[in-house]
Structure 1
Amino acid sequence: MLNYALLLDPSLPVGGFTRSYGLEELFRNGRLTCLQDLVHYMRDVLYTQFTALDGMAIKSLYAAIQQEDGWRMALIDKMLHTQRSSLQHTQESRLSGQRLIKLAKALYPWLEFDQLEESLIQYSATGTLATVHTWINFLLGNDMEQTIHGYLAAVVSFCVEDASKLLNTPYEEKNPFIERTTSELLTVWTTLNAPEPAAFQHELLYRHWSSSYITQPPYWTRKSQSDEVRPFSAPGLSKRLPASP
């Protein structure tokens, strides 16, 4: 799924990023001249975003899906998108999200996407790659860490592939570099991955609960914002999802 998404749209949101990761600007400014420059940039900027933002978001998405909480899932998706996307690109990003779900349906025609689509539409969310990737892996019965590891490996590959096109990196240098960088990023994730999903969700909700970029359920109040579960609008998801571990 993640590899096919590379062919879908070069501006496809990947977590809180677009596919460019700012690499083209670095290249134009002379700050990306070799793969070692990419290492420094990823360590300084992207590792934290990939782990503290995308990785923890996937962790919280697992909890939201297990709780059948469509509103919270949409909020996390909106948070991922708005971290780096400007308002004028909102419509384009939603179209990319729709194309992504269409691709997911073609790759996994036996999976149920209705609940995901309904939640994204109801709360005007986008459908980022991290959200759709999490939904698919949950329905396939893959555990959370496996899902996150696959996602992190993919974003490293995305970065290196894009940088290699700019730098004309030889093939024999590229793959070993991807392996080393992926291993390093997974180590960063392991070090970060201490808080429970609830801790990340609690901070997320208090930071974003009054934001105008997502519709709030009519029964959502300041008092109940961190404790009450908002179920998916359509019933019966639990009949189709695997039991929570």
Structure 2
Amino acid sequence: MTNYFLSLLQLCDSNLPTGGFSHSFGLETYIQENKVQDKASFAKWLRMYLDEQLVYSDGLACRLVYEALENNDLAKLWELDRRITVQNLPRETREGTNKIGERMLTIGVDLYASPLLQTYKRRVLESVSFAHPAIVFSIIAFQLEVPQKLGISAYLYSSISGLVQNAVRGIPLGQTAGQQVLREFQSYIQEAVDKIENLAEEDFGAVAPGLEIAQMKHERVNIRIFMS
């Protein structure tokens, strides 16, 4: 068995205590507006979220982190950390993402004792970096010698899996229906990775306005299950 395989499974496990279960990233707005109400409408929303937000933000960030580390360009790494944070306009989503990133960074330092992760954590404590889960995940995957495409695929799968589990609670969606969505999305994730491999860095941060507006509107939804 490849030496990184089990570590990668651990990073993708929904039980990894990063706090992702507390965030819907705008999905709850769509639920309360009755735009997402069952498996079919959720799958449609999730496909849009994958294609129009994850690909151009977190997914492309994963690829750019790999490239920066291959070139030993830490300045580029810190630049990506700042860019992916400041371009995340909805306050709840931005703050929630940073909390998840900080938690993943702490777990990464405890599990892998990586000097780079320790430096990253110190920069966050000094308020010169923010911490983003896509960047933390990619640093760990790179240092475990996970191939780039597999690392991006794993991160996207982890993100999709978390949203499916939140949909199970929030819609609510049955557990079997949730697993069916995950199965259906395996091919979509591969398509997304192929797309990310061919994007230019100038594409970084291109997000559908409707998703950002829904994430902003979440601050004023009537009943809140999720923090974002």
Which one has more relative contact order, counting CA pairs under 8 Å at least 6 apart? 2
The answer to whether the 8 A contact 1:53-1:80 is kept is: yes
The answer to whether the 8 A contact 1:160-1:178 is kept is: yes
Of 3, 8, 13, the match for 1:3? 13
1:226 — aligned with what?
none
Measure the CA separation in 2 of the matches of 1:170 and 1:92: 26
> Aligned-pair distance for 1:53?
2.0
Structure 2 length normalisation: TM-score?
0.71
Structure 1 length normalisation: TM-score?
0.67
Opposite residue 147 of structure 1, the aligned amino acid is: G
Matched, 1:102 2:106: yes
Count, aligned residues: 193
Structure 1 residues 100-157: Cα deviation after superposition (integer angstroms, max 9, x where no partner)? 2211123334x33233335556772211110110110111111111100101111111
1:230 — aligned with what?
none
Opposite residue 46 of structure 1, the aligned amino acid is: L
What is the SS of the residue equivalent to 1:163?
helix
Of 134, 138, 146, the match for 2:138? 134
Q: Identical aligned pairs, as a percentage?
A: 18
Residues 1:94 and 1:192: Cα distance change in structure 2 (over 3 Å): closer
The answer to whether the 8 A contact 2:39-2:177 is kept is: no
Measure the CA separation in 1 of the matches of 2:157 and 2:97: 23
Opposite residue 154 of structure 1, the aligned amino acid is: S
Matched, 1:184 2:188: yes
1:193 — aligned with what?
197
Opposite residue 170 of structure 1, the aligned amino acid is: G
Measure the CA separation in 2 of the matches of 1:75 and 1:11: 28
Structure of higher CA gyration radius: 1
Of 117, 121, 130, the match for 1:117? 121
> Aligned-pair distance for 1:95?
5.2
Measure the CA separation in 1 of the matches of 2:140 and 2:34: 39
The answer to whether the 8 A contact 2:164-2:182 is kept is: yes
Higher-helix-fraction structure:
2
Structure 1 residues 221-244: Cα deviation after superposition (integer angstroms, max 9, x where no partner)? xxxxxxxxxxxxxxxxxxxxxxxx
The answer to whether the 8 A contact 1:2-1:151 is kept is: yes
Measure the CA separation in 1 of the matches of 2:60 and 2:66: 10
2:35 — aligned with what?
31
The answer to whether the 8 A contact 2:152-2:193 is kept is: no
Opposite residue 111 of structure 2, the aligned amino acid is: L
1:41 — aligned with what?
45
1:21 — aligned with what?
25
Q: Which stretches in structure 2 are left out of the alignment for 5+ residues?
A: 1-10, 205-228
Q: CA RMSD in A?
A: 2.9
Measure the CA separation in 2 of the matches of 1:95 and 1:171: 27
Measure the CA separation in 2 of the matches of 1:81 and 1:35: 31
Matched, 1:80 2:90: no
The answer to whether the 8 A contact 1:152-1:182 is kept is: no
Opposite residue 58 of structure 2, the aligned amino acid is: D
Measure the CA separation in 2 of the matches of 1:190 and 1:89: 26
Of 66, 72, 88, the match for 2:70? 66
What is the SS of the residue equivalent to 2:13?
helix
Residues 1:93 and 1:162: Cα distance change in structure 2 (over 3 Å): closer
Of 39, 50, 54, the match for 2:58? 54
Residues 1:24 and 1:86: Cα distance change in structure 2 (over 3 Å): closer
> Aligned-pair distance for 1:97?
3.5
Opposite residue 186 of structure 1, the aligned amino acid is: Q
Instruction: After superposing the two structures, state which structure 1 stretch, 68-77 or 128-137, moved more.
Output: 68-77
Opposite residue 187 of structure 2, the aligned amino acid is: S
What is the SS of the residue equivalent to 2:88?
coil
